[in-house]
Structure 1
Protein backbone atom coordinates (compact mmCIF):
# COMPACT_ATOMS: atom_id res chain seq x y z
CA UNK A 1 0.00 0.00 0.00
CA UNK A 2 1.28 3.45 -0.85
CA UNK A 3 -0.47 6.49 0.52
CA UNK A 4 -0.03 9.40 -1.81
CA UNK A 5 -2.03 12.05 0.02
CA UNK A 6 -4.48 14.50 -1.48
CA UNK A 7 -3.41 14.75 -5.09
CA UNK A 8 -5.43 16.55 -7.77
CA UNK A 9 -7.95 14.41 -9.66
CA UNK A 10 -10.18 15.45 -12.51
CA UNK A 11 -13.10 14.37 -14.66
CA UNK A 12 -15.02 16.03 -17.45
CA UNK A 13 -16.97 18.39 -15.16
CA UNK A 14 -15.05 18.63 -11.90
CA UNK A 15 -11.61 19.09 -10.44
CA UNK A 16 -10.66 17.71 -7.04
CA UNK A 17 -7.63 19.35 -5.48
CA UNK A 18 -6.23 20.29 -2.09
CA UNK A 19 -7.80 23.38 -0.56
CA UNK A 20 -5.92 26.66 -0.68
CA UNK A 21 -6.58 29.60 1.63
CA UNK A 22 -8.00 31.57 -1.32
CA UNK A 23 -10.93 29.09 -1.27
CA UNK A 24 -12.20 30.61 1.99
CA UNK A 25 -14.76 33.07 0.59
CA UNK A 26 -16.25 30.69 -1.99
CA UNK A 27 -16.32 27.80 0.50
CA UNK A 28 -18.14 29.95 3.04
CA UNK A 29 -20.63 31.30 0.51
CA UNK A 30 -21.22 28.02 -1.35
CA UNK A 31 -21.29 25.32 1.30
CA UNK A 32 -19.90 25.81 4.83
CA UNK A 33 -22.61 28.36 5.74
CA UNK A 34 -25.38 26.30 4.09
CA UNK A 35 -27.77 25.17 6.87
CA UNK A 36 -29.58 22.79 4.50
CA UNK A 37 -26.31 21.05 3.72
CA UNK A 38 -25.20 20.73 7.34
CA UNK A 39 -28.54 19.32 8.54
CA UNK A 40 -27.18 15.74 8.53
CA UNK A 41 -23.58 16.58 9.42
CA UNK A 42 -21.75 16.61 12.76
CA UNK A 43 -20.84 20.29 12.55
CA UNK A 44 -23.18 23.30 12.32
CA UNK A 45 -23.28 25.75 9.45
CA UNK A 46 -20.54 28.33 9.79
CA UNK A 47 -21.74 31.76 10.89
CA UNK A 48 -18.57 33.61 9.94
CA UNK A 49 -15.99 33.42 7.21
CA UNK A 50 -13.38 33.20 9.98
CA UNK A 51 -14.70 29.74 10.93
CA UNK A 52 -14.25 28.58 7.36
CA UNK A 53 -10.77 30.09 7.15
CA UNK A 54 -9.75 28.28 10.36
CA UNK A 55 -10.89 24.86 9.12
CA UNK A 56 -9.23 25.39 5.73
CA UNK A 57 -5.98 26.36 7.48
CA UNK A 58 -6.14 23.19 9.58
CA UNK A 59 -6.61 21.07 6.45
CA UNK A 60 -3.86 22.89 4.56
CA UNK A 61 -1.49 22.25 7.47
CA UNK A 62 -2.23 18.51 7.24
CA UNK A 63 -1.50 18.08 3.52
CA UNK A 64 2.12 17.13 4.27
CA UNK A 65 0.72 13.90 5.81
CA UNK A 66 0.44 11.43 2.93
CA UNK A 67 -2.40 9.65 4.76
CA UNK A 68 -4.55 12.81 4.87
CA UNK A 69 -7.24 12.99 2.19
CA UNK A 70 -9.37 16.16 1.89
CA UNK A 71 -10.35 17.49 -1.52
CA UNK A 72 -12.08 20.65 -2.66
CA UNK A 73 -14.79 19.88 -5.24
CA UNK A 74 -14.58 22.47 -8.01
CA UNK A 75 -16.89 22.86 -11.00
CA UNK A 76 -14.59 23.26 -14.00
CA UNK A 77 -17.03 25.40 -15.99
CA UNK A 78 -17.19 28.09 -13.28
CA UNK A 79 -14.13 27.47 -11.11
CA UNK A 80 -16.38 27.48 -8.03
CA UNK A 81 -15.60 25.47 -4.91
CA UNK A 82 -18.91 23.74 -4.12
CA UNK A 83 -18.02 21.20 -1.44
CA UNK A 84 -15.58 18.62 -0.19
CA UNK A 85 -14.93 14.89 -0.21
CA UNK A 86 -12.57 13.35 2.30
CA UNK A 87 -11.46 10.51 4.49
CA UNK A 88 -13.19 10.91 7.84
CA UNK A 89 -11.36 7.85 9.18
CA UNK A 90 -8.30 6.11 7.74
CA UNK A 91 -7.19 2.77 9.22
CA UNK A 92 -3.82 1.85 7.74
CA UNK A 93 -3.52 -1.53 9.49
CA UNK A 94 -6.88 -2.66 8.07
CA UNK A 95 -6.34 -0.73 4.82
CA UNK A 96 -9.74 0.94 5.06
CA UNK A 97 -11.02 4.46 4.53
CA UNK A 98 -14.37 5.88 5.61
CA UNK A 99 -15.48 8.54 3.14
CA UNK A 100 -17.39 11.70 3.90
CA UNK A 101 -18.76 14.22 1.44
CA UNK A 102 -20.78 17.40 1.45
CA UNK A 103 -21.80 19.75 -1.28
CA UNK A 104 -23.71 23.03 -1.21
CA UNK A 105 -27.47 22.58 -1.66
CA UNK A 106 -27.44 24.74 -4.81
CA UNK A 107 -25.53 21.88 -6.51
CA UNK A 108 -27.59 18.94 -5.23
CA UNK A 109 -29.05 16.43 -7.71
CA UNK A 110 -26.59 17.32 -10.47
CA UNK A 111 -24.29 14.28 -10.09
CA UNK A 112 -21.28 16.20 -8.77
CA UNK A 113 -20.95 14.19 -5.54
CA UNK A 114 -21.14 10.87 -7.39
CA UNK A 115 -18.60 12.11 -9.93
CA UNK A 116 -16.24 13.16 -7.13
CA UNK A 117 -16.82 9.83 -5.38
CA UNK A 118 -15.87 7.84 -8.47
CA UNK A 119 -12.58 9.71 -8.76
CA UNK A 120 -11.73 9.27 -5.08
CA UNK A 121 -12.76 5.60 -4.90
CA UNK A 122 -10.65 4.74 -7.93
CA UNK A 123 -7.68 6.68 -6.54
CA UNK A 124 -7.85 5.15 -3.05
CA UNK A 125 -8.39 1.57 -4.23
CA UNK A 126 -6.18 1.53 -7.32
CA UNK A 127 -3.38 4.02 -6.75
CA UNK A 128 -3.13 4.01 -2.95
CA UNK A 129 -3.91 0.33 -2.44
CA UNK A 130 -6.64 0.52 0.17
CA UNK A 131 -8.73 -2.67 0.37
CA UNK A 132 -12.07 -1.36 1.61
CA UNK A 133 -14.00 1.91 1.54
CA UNK A 134 -16.84 2.63 3.95
CA UNK A 135 -19.74 5.10 3.96
CA UNK A 136 -22.05 5.70 6.95
CA UNK A 137 -24.89 8.21 6.72
CA UNK A 138 -27.97 9.29 8.63
CA UNK A 139 -30.79 6.98 7.54
CA UNK A 140 -33.03 10.05 7.17
CA UNK A 141 -30.73 11.34 4.40
CA UNK A 142 -31.59 9.07 1.45
CA UNK A 143 -29.67 11.24 -1.04
CA UNK A 144 -26.42 10.23 0.64
CA UNK A 145 -27.43 6.58 0.30
CA UNK A 146 -28.12 7.12 -3.40
CA UNK A 147 -24.56 8.37 -3.84
CA UNK A 148 -23.23 5.21 -2.16
CA UNK A 149 -25.42 3.04 -4.39
CA UNK A 150 -24.34 4.85 -7.57
CA UNK A 151 -20.74 4.25 -6.50
CA UNK A 152 -21.60 0.52 -6.31
CA UNK A 153 -21.10 0.26 -2.55
CA UNK A 154 -22.80 -2.76 -0.96
CA UNK A 155 -25.47 -2.00 1.63
CA UNK A 156 -24.59 -3.71 4.92
CA UNK A 157 -27.57 -2.64 7.00
CA UNK A 158 -28.76 -0.08 9.50
CA UNK A 159 -27.14 0.55 12.88
CA UNK A 160 -29.70 1.87 15.34
CA UNK A 161 -28.77 5.01 17.27
CA UNK A 162 -25.18 4.65 16.06
CA UNK A 163 -24.47 8.21 14.97
CA UNK A 164 -24.73 11.77 16.14
CA UNK A 165 -25.25 14.84 14.02
CA UNK A 166 -27.17 18.12 14.02
CA UNK A 167 -30.40 16.10 14.35
CA UNK A 168 -29.21 14.40 17.57
CA UNK A 169 -28.63 10.66 17.93
CA UNK A 170 -29.53 8.96 14.66
CA UNK A 171 -29.68 5.60 12.93
CA UNK A 172 -26.97 5.07 10.32
CA UNK A 173 -27.07 3.19 7.04
CA UNK A 174 -23.76 1.45 6.37
CA UNK A 175 -22.12 0.63 3.04
CA UNK A 176 -18.78 -0.78 1.91
CA UNK A 177 -16.86 -1.20 -1.31
CA UNK A 178 -14.03 -3.71 -1.53
CA UNK A 179 -11.40 -4.30 -4.20
Structure 2
Protein backbone atom coordinates (compact mmCIF):
# COMPACT_ATOMS: atom_id res chain seq x y z
CA UNK A 1 0.00 0.00 0.00
CA UNK A 2 1.27 3.45 -0.86
CA UNK A 3 0.33 6.86 0.47
CA UNK A 4 -1.23 8.45 -2.62
CA UNK A 5 -4.39 10.06 -1.32
CA UNK A 6 -6.61 12.04 -3.67
CA UNK A 7 -7.22 15.45 -2.08
CA UNK A 8 -9.57 18.21 -3.19
CA UNK A 9 -7.74 20.93 -5.14
CA UNK A 10 -9.20 24.24 -6.21
CA UNK A 11 -8.23 26.74 -8.86
CA UNK A 12 -9.93 29.94 -9.92
CA UNK A 13 -12.43 28.07 -12.12
CA UNK A 14 -12.14 24.39 -11.24
CA UNK A 15 -12.40 21.88 -8.43
CA UNK A 16 -10.35 18.70 -8.71
CA UNK A 17 -11.84 16.07 -6.44
CA UNK A 18 -12.32 12.32 -6.03
CA UNK A 19 -14.90 10.76 -8.33
CA UNK A 20 -18.19 9.56 -6.84
CA UNK A 21 -20.87 7.19 -8.12
CA UNK A 22 -23.09 10.20 -8.87
CA UNK A 23 -20.57 11.29 -11.55
CA UNK A 24 -21.51 8.41 -13.89
CA UNK A 25 -23.64 10.41 -16.34
CA UNK A 26 -21.14 13.29 -16.64
CA UNK A 27 -18.20 10.89 -16.95
CA UNK A 28 -20.05 8.94 -19.64
CA UNK A 29 -20.66 12.20 -21.54
CA UNK A 30 -16.90 12.83 -21.65
CA UNK A 31 -15.75 9.35 -22.65
CA UNK A 32 -18.57 8.58 -25.09
CA UNK A 33 -17.62 11.58 -27.22
CA UNK A 34 -15.79 10.39 -30.38
CA UNK A 35 -13.82 13.66 -30.49
CA UNK A 36 -12.45 13.04 -26.98
CA UNK A 37 -11.63 9.40 -27.73
CA UNK A 38 -10.09 10.03 -31.15
CA UNK A 39 -6.51 9.70 -29.90
CA UNK A 40 -7.13 7.15 -27.13
CA UNK A 41 -6.30 3.49 -27.54
CA UNK A 42 -9.94 2.63 -26.76
CA UNK A 43 -13.27 3.15 -28.45
CA UNK A 44 -15.83 5.67 -27.15
CA UNK A 45 -17.97 4.28 -24.38
CA UNK A 46 -21.36 3.00 -25.53
CA UNK A 47 -23.17 2.77 -22.19
CA UNK A 48 -23.15 4.40 -18.79
CA UNK A 49 -22.04 1.00 -17.43
CA UNK A 50 -18.53 1.88 -18.66
CA UNK A 51 -18.58 5.02 -16.53
CA UNK A 52 -19.85 3.05 -13.54
CA UNK A 53 -16.99 0.55 -13.99
CA UNK A 54 -14.42 3.35 -14.24
CA UNK A 55 -15.80 4.93 -11.07
CA UNK A 56 -15.62 1.57 -9.27
CA UNK A 57 -11.97 1.30 -10.33
CA UNK A 58 -11.35 4.82 -9.03
CA UNK A 59 -12.99 3.94 -5.71
CA UNK A 60 -10.72 0.88 -5.48
CA UNK A 61 -7.69 3.11 -6.15
CA UNK A 62 -8.84 5.48 -3.39
CA UNK A 63 -9.19 2.56 -0.94
CA UNK A 64 -5.76 1.11 -1.66
CA UNK A 65 -4.21 4.58 -2.18
CA UNK A 66 -2.41 3.42 -5.32
CA UNK A 67 -3.35 6.30 -7.64
CA UNK A 68 -4.48 9.89 -7.51
CA UNK A 69 -7.62 10.21 -9.65
CA UNK A 70 -9.39 13.53 -9.92
CA UNK A 71 -12.74 14.40 -11.36
CA UNK A 72 -12.49 17.90 -12.83
CA UNK A 73 -15.57 20.02 -12.25
CA UNK A 74 -16.44 23.59 -13.05
CA UNK A 75 -16.43 25.48 -9.77
CA UNK A 76 -19.45 27.63 -10.59
CA UNK A 77 -21.79 24.93 -11.87
CA UNK A 78 -20.44 21.70 -10.35
CA UNK A 79 -20.53 19.99 -13.77
CA UNK A 80 -17.90 17.27 -14.17
CA UNK A 81 -16.02 18.10 -17.39
CA UNK A 82 -13.09 15.69 -17.28
CA UNK A 83 -10.51 13.74 -15.34
CA UNK A 84 -6.85 13.97 -14.36
CA UNK A 85 -4.93 10.98 -13.05
CA UNK A 86 -1.51 10.51 -11.52
CA UNK A 87 -0.85 6.79 -11.84
CA UNK A 88 1.76 4.06 -12.35
CA UNK A 89 3.87 5.34 -9.49
CA UNK A 90 7.45 4.12 -9.27
CA UNK A 91 8.53 4.73 -5.69
CA UNK A 92 12.23 4.06 -6.21
CA UNK A 93 12.71 7.04 -8.52
CA UNK A 94 9.61 9.00 -7.42
CA UNK A 95 7.99 9.21 -10.84
CA UNK A 96 4.53 8.57 -12.24
CA UNK A 97 2.45 8.94 -15.36
CA UNK A 98 -0.16 11.59 -16.06
CA UNK A 99 -3.46 10.91 -17.80
CA UNK A 100 -6.27 13.30 -18.58
CA UNK A 101 -9.40 13.87 -20.62
CA UNK A 102 -11.63 16.91 -21.03
CA UNK A 103 -15.04 16.98 -22.67
CA UNK A 104 -14.86 18.59 -26.10
CA UNK A 105 -17.41 21.27 -25.17
CA UNK A 106 -14.78 22.68 -22.80
CA UNK A 107 -11.76 22.60 -25.13
CA UNK A 108 -9.95 25.85 -25.94
CA UNK A 109 -10.86 27.58 -22.68
CA UNK A 110 -7.68 26.84 -20.72
CA UNK A 111 -9.33 24.28 -18.43
CA UNK A 112 -6.91 21.46 -19.30
CA UNK A 113 -3.88 23.63 -18.56
CA UNK A 114 -5.47 24.84 -15.32
CA UNK A 115 -6.40 21.34 -14.12
CA UNK A 116 -3.07 19.76 -15.07
CA UNK A 117 -1.14 22.59 -13.47
CA UNK A 118 -2.96 22.04 -10.16
CA UNK A 119 -2.44 18.27 -10.28
CA UNK A 120 1.24 18.61 -11.18
CA UNK A 121 1.79 21.17 -8.41
CA UNK A 122 0.29 18.69 -5.97
CA UNK A 123 2.43 15.87 -7.36
CA UNK A 124 5.71 17.72 -7.20
CA UNK A 125 5.17 19.58 -3.92
CA UNK A 126 3.01 17.27 -1.82
CA UNK A 127 3.98 13.85 -3.20
CA UNK A 128 7.58 15.00 -3.79
CA UNK A 129 7.73 13.50 -7.27
CA UNK A 130 10.90 13.90 -9.33
CA UNK A 131 9.39 13.18 -12.74
CA UNK A 132 5.98 12.96 -14.41
CA UNK A 133 5.54 11.45 -17.85
CA UNK A 134 2.61 11.71 -20.25
CA UNK A 135 1.99 9.36 -23.16
CA UNK A 136 -0.03 10.96 -25.96
CA UNK A 137 -0.78 10.11 -29.56
CA UNK A 138 1.73 12.13 -31.63
CA UNK A 139 -1.11 13.35 -33.87
CA UNK A 140 -2.80 15.07 -30.92
CA UNK A 141 -1.31 18.52 -31.43
CA UNK A 142 -3.63 20.23 -28.94
CA UNK A 143 -2.64 17.90 -26.11
CA UNK A 144 1.03 18.25 -27.03
CA UNK A 145 0.67 22.03 -26.87
CA UNK A 146 -0.89 21.86 -23.39
CA UNK A 147 1.93 19.65 -22.14
CA UNK A 148 4.61 21.87 -23.69
CA UNK A 149 3.06 24.93 -22.01
CA UNK A 150 3.43 23.07 -18.72
CA UNK A 151 7.11 22.33 -19.32
CA UNK A 152 6.95 18.79 -20.72
CA UNK A 153 9.52 17.80 -23.34
CA UNK A 154 9.41 15.15 -26.04
Q: TM-score range by the shorter chain?
A: over 0.9
Q: Deviations over 1:1-51 (max 9, x none)?
A: x8442111110100000000000012112x011111011112211101111
| 1:66 positional shift | 2.7
Partner of 1:174: none
Structure 2 gaps, min length 5: none
Secondary structure in 1 aligned to 2:72? strand
Distance 2:39 2:49 in 1: 22
Partner of 1:7: 7
Distance 2:88 2:69 in 1: 11
TM-aligned CA distance change 1:41 to 1:88, over 3 Å: farther
Distance 2:42 2:7 in 1: 25
Secondary structure in 1 aligned to 2:63? coil
Superposed CA RMSD in Å reads 1.4
Partner of 2:18: 18
Give 1 or 2: higher helix fraction.
Answer: 2
Q: Deviations over 1:88-136 (max 9, x none)?
A: 4221111101101111111111111110111011101001111111122
Partner of 2:113: 114
Secondary structure in 2 aligned to 1:27? helix
State TM-score, norm by structure 2. 0.93
Please say if residues 32 and 45 of structure 2, whose CA atoms lie closer than 8 Å, have aligned partners that are also in contact.
yes
Structure 1 gaps, min length 5: 157-179
State TM-score, norm by structure 1. 0.81
Partner of 1:137: 136
TM-aligned CA distance change 1:88 to 1:127, over 3 Å: closer
Distance 1:95 1:65 in 2: 18
Q: How many residues align?
A: 153
| 1:81 positional shift | 0.4
